[in-house]
Amino acid sequence: MRQIIFFLILLTSVVSVDLAFAQQPEQSISVSEVHGTDFDQDFDQDFDQDFDQDFDDDFMEEDSAQLISDPFETLNRGVFWFNDKVYSYLFKPVARAYRIVPRPARTSISNFFSNLSSPVRIVNSTLQFKFADAGRETTRFFVNSIVGLGGLVDAADRWGKIPKKDEDFGQTLGVYHVGQGPYLVLPFLGPSSLRDAGGLVADSFFDPLTVHLSRNWNFLERMELRAGRAINFLSLDDDSYEKIKRDSLDPYLFMRAGYAQHRVAKVAK
């Protein structure tokens, strides 16, 4: 049995390393082909473009435009208010009490759920043609499921130095040049956009946990599990929402700006 497991790990890691390397030489070849003898000049040009792009917010006139459109602001603010109350008076107090459970145990629970949702990341990496990432996520899934005791330990990150890379269908759409669309604040879930909310629905079809539960558990049981997962997550968080609320003039606006930029950065990665 042990030999079989070892062989599996070896196989998956070889496959993913293969994929990772298969990608790199390809890229470097194409770079030198494109640039040819004028490599330095082209490199400078690339650099300039890259640099100017990073400085694009210096065109101040244009950039006073909003980061994300918000035609439903009134409604969004209503949901934001609702979430704030649910968070402050229900979820957060429970999460705080739940912190008596030792941190490593809570981290393990969070790892377990994260490992279960690996297929979402594998599918989306593939859809974005990031095959090396898909390979790495596949390796992570096998390594963590087998060595990491069913996903409780993120062994791939800890000992294999293969960190998790978040990919979801919202990002996939972004890679396909679909804009974020209007900003949406979802009940319980918080900041989102039309694109990303749609992505969430699409991703649920690739999430083994969601698929399995929707067949075998009733609605109430599923909600309980989701709440439990949220509370476990919140217990690990260092009051980041409270800090934003304390420090910003208008938390709604600040979170909207943060969300929009965060998603753009994720799509680019």
For other proteins, the binding residues (CB under 8 A) are 47-48, 51, 54-55, 57-58, 60-61, 63-64, 66-67, 163, 238, 243, 246-250, 253-254, 256-258, 260-262, 264-266, 268-269
Instruction: Give the residue among 81, 260, 263, 91 at the shortest CA–CA distance from 187.
Output: 81
Q: How far is the CB of 240 from other proteins (least distance, A)?
A: 10
User: From the CB of 250, what's the least distance to other proteins, in Å?
Assistant: 5
Q: How far is the CB of 87 from other proteins (least distance, A)?
A: 20
Q: Closest separation between CB of residue 64 and other proteins, Å?
A: 4
Long-range contacts of 191-197 (CB under 8 A, 24+ apart): 191/255, 191/256, 191/258, 191/259, 192/259, 193/68, 193/259, 193/260, 193/263, 195/170, 196/168, 196/170, 196/263, 197/170
Instruction: Return the number of the residue (18 or 63) whose C-beta is nearest other proteins.
Output: 63
The residue (of 188 and 254) whose beta carbon lies closer to other proteins is 254
Q: Toward other proteins, which CB reaches closer, 99 or 269? A: 269
**Residue 55 or 219: which CB sits closer to other proteins?**
55
Instruction: Give the integer Cα–Cα distance in Å for 50 and 68.
Output: 23
Between 103 and 212, name the residue whose CB sits nearer to other proteins: 103
Q: Which is nearer to other proteins, 197 or 264 (CB)?
A: 264
Phi-psi label, residue 115: left if phi above 0, alpha if psi -120 to 50, beta otherwise = alpha
Please provide residue 66's backbone torsions phi and psi, each rounded to the nearest 5 degrees: -70, 150
Q: Cβ of residue 209: shortest distance to other proteins, in angstroms? A: 24
Q: Select 33 or 40, whichever has its Cβ closest to other proteins.
A: 40
- Residue 110 C-beta: closest distance to other proteins, Å: 13
Q: How far is the CB of 52 from other proteins (least distance, A)?
A: 8
Distance CA 1, CA 11 (A): 15
Q: How far apart are CA 22 and CA 28, in angstroms?
A: 11
